[in-house]
Amino acid sequence: MTSPDHTSGSDRVAEVARWLSPECGIVVNVQGDEPMIPTATIERCIDALIQDESADIATTSETITDPADVLDPNVVKVVTDRDSCAVYFSRSPIPFPRSAVERHGSLAAALEREPEVIGTFRKHTGLYAYRRDYLLKFSAMDASPLERVEMLEQLRALESGARIRVVEVDERSIGVDTESDFERVRRALETPG
């Protein structure tokens, strides 16, 4: 239904947003690989953008509880500043717990031997609430150098100076990046209740 030339989900959503009335001030992009994002998470993301007039984008993050997710490049990690705005997103483990790694020789060993280390990591979920005007501006930008390296569109926004509010949520999502992720979602959907 949209152009096959888009390189990101947000570029695809922006094509639709161009045709919306300017009164539609916020546009929400739920990534197709995140079919299990709860409605409450989407609502909290939208509310954060409404409440923070200085933010161009709002998104969400959740705790990481499985050490394998810290090491998995398909699980995007996010770090924020004191105001809960994104500093960086990466497929690599960020922030890097240097002291723990030095004590145990590797990040995997540190995660195994010091379980509290996992608490420093946050998973970014594939959900964005954009101010419509910013989304249109964003989609007109070329892919940025960091975006091309990490294959993460939100880095284009950060590199251009956007302010991205990150809302910490308790609800869990399952990103579908692998066959095993697909099986986890399938089992969750088949489970009653």
| 55-70 pLDDT, tens digit each | 999 999 999 999 999 9
Give the pLDDT score at 126.
Answer: 83
Calpha distance 78→86 (Å, rounded) = 7
Tokens 């050490």 -> residue: 67
CA dihedral 145, 84, 44, 73 (to 10 degrees): 40
Residue-wise pLDDT tens digits, 76-116 = 999 999 999 999 999 999 999 999 999 999 999 999 999 99
| pTM, rounded to two decimals | 0.86
**Complete domains list, the chain, with CATH:** 9-170 (3.90.550.10)
**SS3 (DSSP) at 139:** helix
Calpha distance 91→79 (Å, rounded) = 12
Lowest mean pLDDT among 44-58, 70-84, 112-126, 176-190: 176-190
Question: What beta strand segments (E) does 76-174 contain?
Answer: 77-80, 86-90, 122-131, 164-168
